[in-house]
Structure 1
Amino acid sequence: MKKLFLLFASVSILAACGNEETETGSVKDTYVVGIDETFAPMSFRNNEGDIVGFDVDLAEEVGEMMGVTFTFQPIDWVMKETELNAGNIDLIWNGYSITEERKEKVAFTDPYLDNKQIIVTLADSDIETKADLAGKVVATQQGSATLDALNADETGVVEEFDGGEPILYPTFTDVFNDLDSGRSEAIVVDEVLGRYIMKQKGQENYKVLEENFGEEEYGVGVRKDDTELLDNLNESLDELKKNGTYDEIYQTWFAE
C-alpha cells in the first residue's frame, strides 16, 4: 500500500508540473505557424511547391536564434484565431495586421512591418477617388484586416458600394482575378501583397488611388497565455533588426 501511495503521489506531482508548464506557456522545441499560402510575398508556394516568403525567412532566423523550429501549416484564414486558440497552430505569422478586435483574441508581438489598405483599379478605370467607389462593385478577402478596415470606415462610402458591401473571396489571388476579369471595378488589398502581385502581373495594367482605407502594422499573434514565447519572439525580432539580418531579408523581398 505504501508503494501504491508513493506511485500515486509521483503521478500527481508530474501531472501538476505538466499543467503548470502548459499554463505558463513554456517554450517548446517545435512550433506550428499558421499561414495563408497565397499571401505573397509574406508566405506563399513557389513554382516548386515550397513555402517561401519574407515571413518564412524571418521566422526561420528567429527560430535559429531561439533554438526552436517553426513548421508552416496552411490554414483557412477566416479560422486563424480559432485554429490558434484550439491548439491546432501555435502562431499566426503571415502579414497579420494588428487590430483592436484581434487583440481581444490573441497576444501580438511588437510591430515588425508597416502596411496600409490600398484601393486598386485597372489602369483605364475612371475611378480616381474613394468617393468614386459609390455604386461600384468592390472586392476584398474575407476574414482579412482589409475587410475590418472597410467595416470601420466612417466616410459612409462602403454602404454606397454596389450591393451595399464588398464582394468577398477566400484569397487575395481570387480578388485580383475578379478585378482582372472585370467582375469587380475596384479592389481593396494590403499594400505589401498588392504591389507584389501587380509587379508579377504587370504594374502598367493597374492604378493605385492616392486615398486608402488606413495604415496599420504587422505583428505575430500567439495565445495570450504563451507569455514566455511572446517575450522570446520580441527579443529575437529586436536583435535581428539590430544586427542587420532583418534588413537583409527585407532587401531580398522588397528591394524594388
Structure 2
Amino acid sequence: MKKRNSFRRILTIGVCTGLLFCISGCAGQEKQMTDQAETRPQMIIGSDNYPPFNYEDADGKPAGIDVDLATEAFDRLGYDAVFTYIDWEAKKQFLENGDIDCIWGSFSIDGRENQYHWTTPYMISRQVVAVSKDSDIYTLADLEGKRVAVQSTTKPEEIFASHTDERIPELAEIFSLQNRELIYPFLSKGYADAVAAHETAILQCMKDYDLEYRILEEPLQTVGLGVAFSKYDDRGIETELSQVFEDMREDGTLEEILENYLEHPEDYLEVDTCEK
C-alpha cells in the first residue's frame, strides 16, 4: 500500500513537472515571438507633405496613398514602414547620408532614371497646368509671357526651365517655391497666372480649400511614380519591392488603396502607357 502511494506521489510530481516545463516552454516561445516582433527591421522613408500622397491625418499620423502603399508593401517584405518628413530639396543628400532608406513621395522616375536605384512604377501621374476659372489661358501656347508658380526641384520646374519642350513658350517668370502649399496662394492672389504640379495634388487642393481652378486639357507630361534608393545601396530592395508591386497589382490591392483617394483609380494603374 505504501509503495502504491509512493508511486502516486512520484507520478503526480512528474505530471506537475511536465506541466511546468510546458508552461515555461510556451512562455518562452511567446517571449521569443514578442522579441522578434519588437526587433522587426524598419524602413525609413523620406517624403514631404503632399496630399493625397502623404499628409498628416486628424491624429497627426502619416496618411495618404504612398503611406498606405508603403505600409502594405514593406509589411509583405518583413519591414515596418516609418515615414519622416524631409526638406524635399535636400532629399538626395538625406539618402546618400543614410538618414533615410528611400524616397517615396509622388516621386517621378522620368528624367531621373540614372540618379537612383528605382523600383518599377507603381502608378502614373499627369503633370498639368492649372489656372483661375476665368483665365484666358486654355493651352500651353497661351502661357507665353505669363508667370508660372511651381515647387522647386520638381518635374514642372525642370520642364519650364529646360526650354527643351517645343510646346512651352517663353515665360515672363517662373516662381520656384520650396513650400508646395505656397504655389496656390500665388495663383489665387494674382502673383502668378498659372501653377503646375501633379494633377492629383491640384485636385486634392481644390477639394480641401474649396478652390475653383481649371486644369488645361493638354498635360505637361505623363510620368511614372516610383521609389528611389541610393545608387550605393546594394541590398536590392528596389527589385524585391518591384515584385511586391506586381503582386499587389494582380491581387487588386493597388487599386483598392487608390480608390480610397482617387476617382477612377484604374486610370492611374496603366503604367505601360507612361513615357519611359
In the superposition, the TM-score normalised over structure 2's length comes to: 0.76
Query: Separation in 2 of the partners of 1:64 and 1:41?
Result: 21
Q: In terms of mean alpha carbon deviation, does 230-239 or 65-74 score higher?
A: 230-239
CA RMSD of aligned residues (A): 1.7
Alignment of 1:232-251 (within 5 A): 232-251=240-259
1:87 alignment partner AA: G
SS of aligned partner of 2:260: helix
- Of the two structures, which has the highest relative contact order with CA contacts closer than 8 Å and spacing of 6 or more? 1
SS of aligned partner of 2:219: strand
Residues 125 and 110 (structure 1 numbering): CA distance in 2 closer, same or farther, change over 3 Å? same
1:32 lines up with 2:72 in the alignment: no
In the superposition, the TM-score normalised over structure 1's length comes to: 0.82
1:55 lines up with 2:54 in the alignment: no
SS of aligned partner of 1:42: coil
Residue 156 (structure 1) shift: 6.8
1:210 lines up with 2:221 in the alignment: no
1:252 lines up with 2:263 in the alignment: no
Residue 216 (structure 1) shift: 0.8
Query: Separation in 2 of the partners of 1:218 and 1:126?
Result: 31
Query: Separation in 2 of the partners of 1:241 and 1:128?
Result: 36
1:217 alignment partner AA: G
Instruction: Find the partner of 1:110 among 95, 112, 120.
Output: 120
2:161 aligned partner: 151
Contact 1:81 1:105 (8 Å CA) reproduced: no
Q: Deviations over 1:101-154 (max 9, x none)?
A: x22321110011111211100101111111111111111000112212223442
1:125 lines up with 2:135 in the alignment: yes
Query: Separation in 1 of the partners of 2:263 and 2:140?
Result: 29
Query: Separation in 2 of the partners of 1:104 and 1:123?
Result: 39
Residue 230 (structure 1) shift: 1.3
Query: Separation in 2 of the partners of 1:108 and 1:136?
Result: 35
2:151 aligned partner: 141
Q: In terms of mean alpha carbon deviation, does 217-226 or 134-143 score higher?
A: 217-226
1:197 lines up with 2:205 in the alignment: yes
Q: How many residues align?
A: 223
Query: Separation in 1 of the partners of 2:70 and 2:52?
Result: 14
2:184 alignment partner AA: F
Unaligned runs of 5+ in 2: 1-39, 265-276
Query: Separation in 1 of the partners of 2:185 and 2:44?
Result: 30
Segments ≥4 residues shifted beyond 6 Å: none
* Bigger Rg, structure 1 or 2: 2
1:175 alignment partner AA: I
2:143 alignment partner AA: L
Give identity over the alignment, percent. Answer: 29
Contact 2:147 2:194 (8 Å CA) reproduced: yes
1:168 lines up with 2:179 in the alignment: no
Query: Separation in 1 of the partners of 2:144 and 2:198?
Result: 21
Instruction: Find the partner of 1:93 among 104, 122, 128.
Output: 104
